[in-house]
Structure 1
Amino acid sequence: MNAALKAQQRYRDDAILSAAPERLLTMLYDRLLLDIERGEAALRRGDWSESSTQLQHAQSIVAELNASLTDAWDGAGQLRAVYTFLTQTLIGANIGRDPERAHACLEIVAPLRVAWHTASESLVARRA
């Protein structure tokens, strides 16, 4: 890896390590949406290797989001059910090579991403 790429990677790593919890959550949702979009696109063009890579990464993010849920929050059970559905649907999209299943995940994740970004911005504004 050349020096410029190493510097970029270090910058990304430092940004993640120093991010506030609400920022980490929005970063995960941003990447989740990107992975699903890329996975769907790869499925549509028949690139099974790339679609598998993207959809498996999306599954890993959903697993991390699920693991981070705390039962102290009243909505945790419902969100956990959404994460379970996403995991099952992402697996099905990957195994079945089904772009429509991947797209169904996009339709769930996109509004959740917006909601978490809005909540994060609200929290930051209250701190200011």
Structure 2
Amino acid sequence: MNAMNAHAAYRSNAVATASPARLLVMLLERLVLDVERAYVAQQRGAWADAHRELLHAQDIVIELESSLDVDRMPAGKQLASLYEYLRNRLVLANVRRDPRVTTECLTLSRQLCDTWRQAAMTAAVGAAAS
């Protein structure tokens, strides 16, 4: 088994065995990575690469929006609005090829990732204490 196949098998196993909270964090970590890559590509003038990364980031935000149960979360409507705002800014960063907008998206993506990571850790500690 070569290194690429081993890495793919590891990733597949990590996803298959992850808790829902961990899956959410993994998705947000990928969002951050996509936006980081898009920013770097924009800085290089590699517009096709930036476009690909921003489209994937948009797909992730669409998935986050579609999986959000607004009525079951205390701040569900606010989170839905935040996801919508981020999605719209990702589109704008792509259409305008604007690294400043991409930087804003990166900041917001990192904040969302950090928040969900902290929530997942808090929930895991609470579950272990029970």
TM-score normalised per structure 1:
0.94
Shift of 1:38: 0.9
Superposition CA RMSD, Å: 1.2
Distance in 1 (alpha carbons) for counterparts of 2:2 and 2:110? 35
The one-letter code matched in structure 2 to 1:104 is E
Matches within 5 A, 1:22-101: 22-70=21-69, 71-101=71-101
Count of residues in Structure 1 that have an aligned counterpart in Structure 2: 127
Distance in 1 (alpha carbons) for counterparts of 2:104 and 2:116? 19
Distance in 1 (alpha carbons) for counterparts of 2:109 and 2:46? 23
Aligned match of 1:117: 117
Q: Which runs of 4+ in 1 moved over 6 A?
A: none
**Runs (5+) with no aligned partner, structure 1:** none
TM-score normalised per structure 2:
0.92
The one-letter code matched in structure 2 to 1:29 is L
**Runs (5+) with no aligned partner, structure 2:** none
The one-letter code matched in structure 1 to 2:117 is H
Percentage identity across paired residues of the two chains: 39
